[in-house]
Amino acid sequence: MFKLNEDYLTITPKLKGHWEKAVNDNMVDGLRAYFLRGGCSGQELKFDVVNKGQNTQDSYVMINDDLKLYLDQKDMHVFAGGTLDLTTEGINQVVKLTGPNLNGACGCGQSYDLGNK
pLDDT tens column, 34-60 = 988 888 888 889 999 999 888 777 788
d(CA 19, CA 30): 9
Residues with Cβ within 8 Å of residue 6, at least 6 apart in sequence: 61, 62
- The structure's pTM equals 0.85
Contact between 38 and 96 under an 8 Å Cβ cutoff? The reply is no
Which domains does the chain possess? 9-113 (2.60.300.12)
The pLDDT value recorded for residue 82 is: 92
d(CA 46, CA 43): 9
For the chain, the farthest-separated pair of C-alpha atoms sits apart, in whole angstroms, at 39
pLDDT tens column, 68-116 = 899 988 888 899 999 999 998 888 888 999 989 888 887 776 777 887 6
